[in-house]
Amino acid sequence: MKDPRTELAALSVAFRERLERAHDQGRTSLLVPVASQSTPEPVPMAVSAQPASAASAQPAASASASRGKKLPLVSIEPELPDRAARVQSLATIAKEVSTCRKCGLCDSRTQTVFARGTGRTRIMFVGEAPGADEDRQGLPFVGRAGQLLDQIIDAAGFDRESIYVANILKCRPPQNRDPKPEETAACTGFLEAQIELVNPKIICALGRHAAQFLTGKPDAPMGQLRGRIHYYREKIMVLPTYHPAALLRNPEWKRVVWDDMQILRREYLR
């Protein structure tokens, strides 16, 4: 049996980390008032017009935290029993990716971009490919689209650090052009391995490229895919929605993305 003092010490460290994270995200309490659970409104999801480097000095969620309503927090799941082995395997794949030369993008990249998030909330978000900020920092969704994604995740009541975020491509296409079929074909084995190891309950596919790949419907338009549950390899739920970069260009689509986040949340908690 565990020493109760050790257990208590571990609990208080975990609680402290959670409090600090809530504080960093601009929340004043870990508890959610019952009244806010009934009628969620779309969150403004405002994004600063500053360049990403300047804007990222602020916690990304603070604008929506103060102005919009959020859905109640979803608790982080207990660790999967074989978590250490999974984390180790992911690290091995990340190392392999870092030296990958399977397609021409290896010549123009600054570095590869593998993933962020612990995966403890068993949701994955999958985007298209790193952009300039991601190529520079080596992490997915850290530019303006990433700030908006963080606001969406926060507003939907998920813990953003525990959600696993990755891309179809691990290297930036020059000038952020669309992925070429041969680049997607060379890279998706890595994503498939990530999905296998993270073992999410549901994957949110951001944009057409991720949606078509994960649903196995390479010709379906976004209008047909988004807002509906599909299945990856007949077992993992996939919910396609618009890419945050598309929301920056078309802010009127935020309403449907907000609707999609409620589907994501409902299916995750079901």
Could you tell me if 48 and 154 are in contact, meaning their C-beta atoms sit under 8 angstroms apart? Answer: no
Of the pair 43, 165, the CB lying nearest ligand URA is at: 165
Q: How far apart are CA 141 and CA 112, in angstroms?
A: 13
List the one residue from 125, 141, 232, 242 that touches ligand URA (CB under 6 A).
Answer: 141
- Span near ligand URA by CB under 6 A; candidates 15-23, 75-83, 127-135, 178-186: 127-135
123 lines the binding site for ligand URA (CB under 6 A): no
Q: How far apart are CA 242 and CA 122, in angstroms?
A: 20
183 lines the binding site for ligand URA (CB under 6 A): no
Q: For residue 65, give the nearest of 99, 27, 33, 37 by alpha carbon.
A: 27
140 lines the binding site for ligand URA (CB under 6 A): yes
List the one residue from 147, 167, 212, 241 that touches ligand URA (CB under 6 A).
Answer: 167
Q: Give the residues across from 124 on adjacent strands.
A: 164, 203
213 lines the binding site for ligand URA (CB under 6 A): no
249 vs 148, 230, 254, 268, CA distance in Å?
12, 26, 11, 29
Of the pair 117, 131, the CB lying nearest ligand URA is at: 131
157 lines the binding site for ligand URA (CB under 6 A): no
Could you tell me if 244 and 258 are in contact, meaning their C-beta atoms sit under 8 angstroms apart? Answer: no
- For residue 23, the minimal CB distance to ligand URA (Å) is 27
Tokens of 136: 């520079």
Could you tell me if 239 and 264 are in contact, meaning their C-beta atoms sit under 8 angstroms apart? Answer: yes
205 lines the binding site for ligand URA (CB under 6 A): no
Of the pair 71, 191, the CB lying nearest ligand URA is at: 191
The residues binding ligand URA (CB under 6 A) are 127-131, 134, 140-141, 143, 145-146, 167, 245
